[in-house]
Amino acid sequence: MIDFLRGRVVYLESEYIVLDVRDTGYRVFTPNPYAFAKKDEPVTVYIHHNVREDAILLFGFETREEQTLFRKLLEVSGIGPRVALGILSGGRPDAVIAAIQQENISFLTKLPGIGKKTAQRMILDLKDKLIGAGLDGGLLSAGGVAMDLSAHAGSGQGAGTAWPEAREALAALGYTAAELDKAWTGLQDGATAEESVDSLMKRALQQLFKG
């Protein structure tokens, strides 16, 4: 099985990247392909290799934490690779982990493809497994007390609150203030009070990639 690939991103679509590894192009489905838009150097993409009767698919992630959480999500009844990918596109790993550990069904049901019953299954199946798998997400303070989910989750923030955090993250990718101001102009009319930082970043990257 493939555990990771290292190469250059040569093509982007809304659901996947194409990674050139020694003159072979691998199509890799990822939560946010546009996060790779400004990366000119070779990148390491952590892979989940999914084999079905009718297809062999690669799902890729920027960090080991995302890869591990993705695999844990697949253990939940009713969650397949596409739904698990949607969960990671809709919420940062630490926010998803915190929601599961704090039994925050309201947060979980805002993630793509997750209804109340699936959210309950996620809590039941994963609550006691994540820390044991090294997926505490930095959610415990030095005193061992769980931190407030609102400090980690974008959901529930108004776009006016979420945008500064999203803008800072995008600036770290190398985008200029002028580019970000232009992207925000195209985004703000469609932004909702419930939109997460991650969702806002994804839409902003789509705007930036289009120019």
Q: How confident is the model at residue 149 (pLDDT cuts 50, 70, 90)?
A: very low
Residues in the chain: 211
| CATH code, domain with 100 | 1.10.150.20
If asked whether residues 43 and 69 sit together in one domain, one would say no
Number of domains composing the chain = 3
In a shared domain, residues 21 and 70: no
Looking at residue 37, which CATH number applies to its domain?
2.40.50.140
Range of the domain at 101: 65-151
Asked if residue 15 has pLDDT above 50, the reply is yes
Residues 70 and 141 occupy one common structural domain: yes
The residue among 210 and 76 whose pLDDT is bigger is 76
Domain boundary among 100, 118, 151: 151
What is the rounded CA–CA span in Å between residue 6 and residue 20?
8
Which of 211, 167, 164, 207 shows the shortest CA–CA distance to 14?
Answer: 207
Is residue 12 located within the same domain as residue 27? yes
Distance in angstroms (rounded) separating the CA atoms of residues 202 and 211: 14
Indicate the pTM of the whole model: 0.66
Is the same domain home to 114 and 128?
yes
Average pLDDT value for residue range 117-122: 94
